[in-house]
Structure 1
Amino acid sequence: MSQRLETGQLAPLFSLNDVYDREINLSDYKNKGKKILVSFLRNVTCPFCNFRLHQLTTKNDEWKDRLEMIFFLEAKKSVILRSSFHQGISPIPIISDFERETYERYGTEVSTEKFNITMNSKEQMAVCTELVEKGFQIDSGELILHTVPADFLLDENLNIIKSHYGEDVQDYLPFHEIEAAL
């Protein structure tokens, strides 16, 4: 695992295309008068990540004058584009990082232990079982399953004002902490 990022650090810059082939250059967000939330999620089959994306996209109208969001998924672009759920997220950028290059630069963690802790609860197993019964399939050749999510809230100068590394695969930066920073 790469070193974790801390409050006060300049966020690692990136210039990547999102799944819709739009260039997303983090330095373009500098001095625009808005905070930036960069979220590193698991993949398109993760029910917790999909729920988080849904929650964040519903907040977009409320926050759009004060916050820009960028989502990373560790799935191949073709897998993301096949997902009807993820098609509805645009115009918020979704960046495919199956090779985990930017995940590594931000110090995200892959942990079988934290994955198992989450999946061993009866409540979480019920959610996963329901998804499988509805036809949700996992193609392990196209997905990574044990990444722990991480969120980074940046100021207008791209300095990290809050870094949140999940304690398990469903632990994200709480909304009240995002709203407090806006």
Structure 2
Amino acid sequence: MNNQLRPGDAAPWFEAADQNGEPVTPDTYSGRNLLLAFFRNSACALCNLRVQQFIKRYETWKRQGMEVVAFFESPEANLRQYVGRQNAPFPLIADPEAEIYARYGVESSEAKMKATLAQPDIHEITARVEAAGFKLIPEEGSNFNRIPAEFLIDEQGIVQVAHYGSLITDHLPFEAIERFAARSRS
């Protein structure tokens, strides 16, 4: 995909409402580090597990000066029905038309989806996800081939890390997020 962001790029502008109807823009987080996470859809079991992991770490990240915003290519009603049940303390944003996804260069790839399903450890991964309480159910009308992406954006709105998944199981390592969250603010 040729419109993918790179470190040093300004984070693209967006305006959206979160799961509580509160407005969210990049200006909302001016002066704070930000993790923007783009997920497949709100019913995605792997995505829900990742959100659960974010929730467990969020208070520490917030104390360190980093906020989190999570996007889902899902209608708002589905967002509430699935991932919204986790009561995330950070914004969850429905982007069913994938407009913000497009601004950030987040791709959809049938080839990467097929490669994910062909991983030798896919059964182990799905068993771990189901053991965490997330069912592998399809979200009607969702983009099955959406590949996740995560961005670390500094206090000035500049992309420091742009991680585009190579598979749907490929996310930015927590060690990289922890280092970014812990770095001293200028």
Q: TM-score surpassing 0.5?
A: yes
Give the 5 Å matches for 1:73-88. Answer: 73-83=72-82, 85-88=83-86
Q: What amino acid is the match of 1:28?
A: T
Q: Deviation at 1:173?
A: 0.9
- For the 8 Å contact 1:6–1:163, the answer to whether it is kept is yes
Task: Name the CA distance, whole Å, in 1 between partners of 2:116 and 2:92.
Answer: 25
Task: Name the CA distance, whole Å, in 1 between partners of 2:150 and 2:156.
Answer: 17
Q: Deviation at 1:136?
A: 4.9
Match of 1:175 in 2: 174
Q: Deviation at 1:39?
A: 0.5
Task: Name the CA distance, whole Å, in 2 between partners of 1:173 and 1:48.
Answer: 14
Deviation per CA, 1:118-164: give whole Å up to 9, x if none: 11235324627x96xx97532432x1111111001000011001110
* TM-score normalised over the length of structure 1: 0.88
| Matched residue SS, 1:110 | coil
Change (3 A) 1:71 1:139: closer
Match of 1:112 in 2: 110
Q: Give percent identity, aligned residues only.
A: 30
Task: Name the CA distance, whole Å, in 1 between partners of 2:166 and 2:135.
Answer: 29
Give the 5 Å matches for 1:58-97. Answer: 58-65=56-63, 66-83=65-82, 85-97=83-95
RMSD: 2.0
* TM-score normalised over the length of structure 2: 0.86
Q: Does 1:17 pair with 2:13? A: no
| Matched residue SS, 1:38 | strand
Deviation per CA, 1:44-78: give whole Å up to 9, x if none: 22222111111111001211122100000111111
Q: What amino acid is the match of 2:28?
A: D
- For the 8 Å contact 2:6–2:159, the answer to whether it is kept is yes
| Matched residue SS, 2:121 | helix
In structure 2, runs of 5+ residues without a counterpart are 182-186
Off by >4 Å, runs of 4+ in structure 1: none
Count of aligned residue pairs for this structure pair: 175
Q: Deviation at 1:168?
A: 0.5
